[in-house]
Amino acid sequence: MGASMTMQKGTNVAVPAQTVRVELGWSASPGTPDVDASALLLVSGKVRSDADFVFYNQPAHASGAVRHEGKRTAGESVTDALTVDFARMEPVIDRVVVAASADGGSFGRVTGLNVRLVDPANGSEIARFESTDATVETAFILGELYLRQGAWKFRAVGQGYGTGLAGLATDFGISVDEPQQPQAPQQAPAPQQAPPARPAPSAFVTPQAVPVPPPAPPVAPPAAQPVRLTKVTLTKETPSVSLAKQGGTSGALRVNLNWEVRKQFKSWGAKLGRAVAMHADLDLDLCALYELTDGSKGVVQSLGNAFGSLDRPPYVLLDGDDRTGALSTGENLTVNLDHKGRLRRVLIFVTIYEGARSFADLHATVTLQPQNGAAIDFSLDECTVPSTVCALALITNDGGDLTVQREARYLVPQRGVSPQRTIDAAYGWGMNWTPGRK
């Protein structure tokens, strides 16, 4: 494959890999807007339906060809990633647009914005494009994967929009539901921004995709509801949200915990004064206490292989045990919202199984992604106590609707008391506990 290619706007490169990881990267600093990656799967320049839009609220295409993997932070560098599997791409799809949107400001305040293609099989970089001329734009088409004579290629685009993700998505045929900002996407024309933002894509798209403005052939039926671009971030000031109000009333609710170690966990020997790095074997376990409407209670955790089940009680499933904190795999737990009427309450918590004595110096983010509706996320506060168990979120049945409450509560077990017993006592679950292992 040779060395990585740093691309100029308008240039293209062959994509030799069957699967690629598309990483959107930027530098995080105070005042920098949050940036999100998204992808649109196109047929002759348009989506067939809203289902062809892959982003934070709709993280996987039905074909499995494109997935939104999520964000990772390493120091001041942040990445938001998409995975594209060409083997699963439907033959009718001839173009995948890779877009970036800024939440809370313009791209003129984002430094180091770039997109790179990586071969996940060996970690090699196939291509890289750096966007350096952003000013007032709130969305960008950074690049596009397109089919040419049976082979996939990548083109660096660098086309800005002044109308945000909603304006960009609408241009490709997405119907957007923005109840909290009814006039912003369509009617914030920003005359000085709009004219250059529209005609430029035709200079960089593939020949068959040039007619973007004219109506394009709809292949798939339209989605039942417009997509929601809103995100919900829970804070101390606004700690809870109704799932129904966010459209999350059915299907799978995916709970993800990802983390990074800000600096090495250290255990100082009182006499020797040596620092022993403990982060390499850090093992966090995502768990859930549940109580059903019939009064039955239990725990879902990797200890004792109590992984739960989606199709039968407790309707909560732990996907696996991960030691890296990577969002692409990570610690994932799924709640079956089709049986939400059977759930009385679910407490999602995390324990340190090994590798550290507390959550200090750990930066963790919790994301609850309903199959339908807006994502809900929050960060954990800095840990200042010797805690080995943290209550993350409490989901309660509120008259048939489920309410998600941010807990972010660090607990300190008493000597000889397990993290599970500690969290049980704090929330009054009233279970009998026996030692377990994994």
Cβ contacts of 118 within 8 Å, gap of 6 or more? 20, 21, 22, 23, 124, 125, 126
Q: How confident is the model at residue 303 (pLDDT cuts 50, 70, 90)?
A: confident
What's the rounded Cα separation, in Å, for the pair 396 and 349? 14
What digits encode the pLDDT tens for the residues 16-55? 999 999 999 999 877 788 889 999 999 999 999 988 999 8
- Which residue in 50, 48, 49, 70 sits closest to 59, CA to CA? 70
Q: Any alpha helices (H) in 106-163, and if so which ranges?
A: none
What digits encode the pLDDT tens for the residues 212-227? 444 444 444 444 467 7
Beta-bridged to residue 127, according to DSSP, are: 5, 117
pLDDT of residue 308: 94
Q: How confident is the model at residue 315 (pLDDT cuts 50, 70, 90)?
A: very high
The gap from C-alpha 145 to its chain's centroid, in whole angstroms, comes to: 21
- Which residue in 71, 104, 156, 75 sits closest to 326, CA to CA? 71
Q: How confident is the model at residue 163 (pLDDT cuts 50, 70, 90)?
A: confident
- pTM listed for this prediction: 0.55
The gap from C-alpha 156 to its chain's centroid, in whole angstroms, comes to: 24
Q: Which residue has the higher pLDDT, 67 or 438?
A: 67
pLDDT of residue 358: 84
Structure tokens, 57: 């609220």
- Which residue in 29, 251, 244, 68 sits closest to 165, CA to CA? 68
